[in-house]
Structure 1
Amino acid sequence: MGKITQPTFENRCIISCGMLHPEMIHLVETGFMKPRRILFTPPGLHALPDRLEEYLLKRLGQVRKSCPDHEIIVVYGKKCYVSTDEPLKRVDSILQANGSGIVRVEGDYGYDMLAGVEGRQRISAGREDKTLWFTPGWLKSWKTVYQNYFGWDDADANANFPGFYDKIIILDGLDLADEYMTQHAHEILELFDWTGLEVEFQNITLERLKGLLLDALYAAIEDPARNDSGLNIPEQ
């Protein structure tokens, strides 16, 4: 019998939302995966759906120089694209219309790939819907999203945060809490002052993200023909 080899990311190209850049680069640097190529879209483009689609297609064109469609993994939540002009359009339909055999990592949003609903319910003591969930990428990019992309000012922040949310919880899989509290405390205070919400770091592992990436890798190998639509969409 021939030797059974374990699948690896070495012959895969990955396109990821920039909000998960810290976690994805950490997984590369620590040896969990060594993809043939990994590219990121700018963080926060869910606020600008037309630009999200533009950058996603741009990155697809770039990685196709290194990988065919069936070797491309997209790390984007299925609900990250929402447009009032095209209410039925989603990340999956964009990929389906522009490729064949591309695999999307399962998850509704980027933070959902770090902690699932049950995990978030546990972390928030049953207040998952009243928690504003951040990742380290969000902590770096919140001003770009809210102030630049959405165009919110202090009045908008006051109208949209207090009363709707109890607190901000940062899902920290990179042990950044001590660094921020000692070296970047002013950034946390600025976020608190602008949102009016307490900011809390929650230590997590990256095991869920690793598992979802492996699921996407195995999905591409086990079902190379994909489904009838040409896009392998993980079951929810």
Structure 2
Amino acid sequence: MCKKILACGIIKQELDYLLKDKEVEINYIDPALHVDLNRLKDELSRSMDQMNGDTFVVLGAQCHPEIENMVAERGGQIIKAKNCIDMLFGNKMAETDAEARTFYLTSGWLENWRKIFVEGLKWDEIDARQNFGFYDRILLLDTGISPINDEAILEFFEYTQVPIEIITIELDNLAKLLE
């Protein structure tokens, strides 16, 4: 029997890489839905209902305030991780947070930031600087799966005006959660 996963498109590259040889059907939702909880709830409901009662797992326990109940009502399971960053970075996050006020970024976030912040939240550069001004740094988690575009990093820096650091991480935490 093919297992099913419902996940945010933010971690598409990582999931596709880890599960490429597995009998798994992965359905991705648009990452920009996180800025509109009503639209996110509607899409989660629609996507879970399409899974027709099959065994499925939903990633991201805190991506919507009602997600755990929504999944439980449909007989699914939820991975015990707060969000995509927690899935990738795991317990290293608390240690890193203690160093500086950090906003985390993945290659998926880097690809989708315009859809999320500009189109979804309607932030112009002033809004971005006000909202990102709280952070001391942006930490880009590089899994090594796909090349990171230097121009994209520069564009995001120009938008936020917060220094961006790149850290190489392994996919061990996500792989362990998927087991």
TM-score scaled to structure 1, two decimals? 0.70
1:51 to partner: Cα distance: 1.1
1:175 to partner: Cα distance: 4.5
1:43 to partner: Cα distance: 1.1
Query: Percentage identity across aligned positions?
Result: 28
Tell me, which stretches of 5 or more residues in structure 1 are unaligned? 1-9, 82-88, 215-236
Q: How many residues align?
A: 179
Q: Which has the larger radius of gyration?
A: 1
More strand by share: 2
1:165 to 125, 135, 158: 135
Tell me if 1:204 matches 2:169.
yes
2:117 to 126, 146, 150: 146
Q: Counterpart of 1:146 in 2: which secondary structure?
A: helix
- Give 1:90's aligned residue: 66
1:34 to partner: Cα distance: 2.6
Tell me, which stretches of 5 or more residues in structure 2 are unaligned? none
- Give 1:193's aligned residue: 158
Tell me if 1:126 matches 2:91.
no
Letter of the 2:15 partner, please give it.
Answer: M
1:96 to partner: Cα distance: 3.0
The answer to whether the Cα contact below 8 Å between 2:118 and 2:124 also exists between their aligned partners in 1 is yes
The answer to whether the Cα contact below 8 Å between 1:18 and 1:44 also exists between their aligned partners in 2 is no
TM-score scaled to structure 2, two decimals? 0.91
> What is the distance in 2 between the residues matched to 1:39 and 1:21?
9
Tell me if 1:49 matches 2:55.
no
> What is the distance in 1 between the residues matched to 2:26 and 2:83?
19
- Give 2:57's aligned residue: 73
1:165 to partner: Cα distance: 0.5
Q: CA RMSD in A?
A: 1.8
1:200 to partner: Cα distance: 1.7
Are residues 202 and 34 of structure 1, via their aligned partners in 2, closer, same or farther at CA, if it must alter by over 3 Å? farther
> What is the distance in 2 between the residues matched to 1:127 and 1:173?
21
The answer to whether the Cα contact below 8 Å between 1:134 and 1:169 also exists between their aligned partners in 2 is yes
> What is the distance in 1 between the residues matched to 2:5 and 2:145?
24
> What is the distance in 2 between the residues matched to 1:125 and 1:161?
15
> What is the distance in 1 between the residues matched to 2:39 and 2:97?
36
Letter of the 2:13 partner, please give it.
Answer: P
> What is the distance in 2 between the residues matched to 1:59 and 1:13?
11
The answer to whether the Cα contact below 8 Å between 2:102 and 2:138 also exists between their aligned partners in 1 is yes
The answer to whether the Cα contact below 8 Å between 2:135 and 2:162 also exists between their aligned partners in 1 is yes
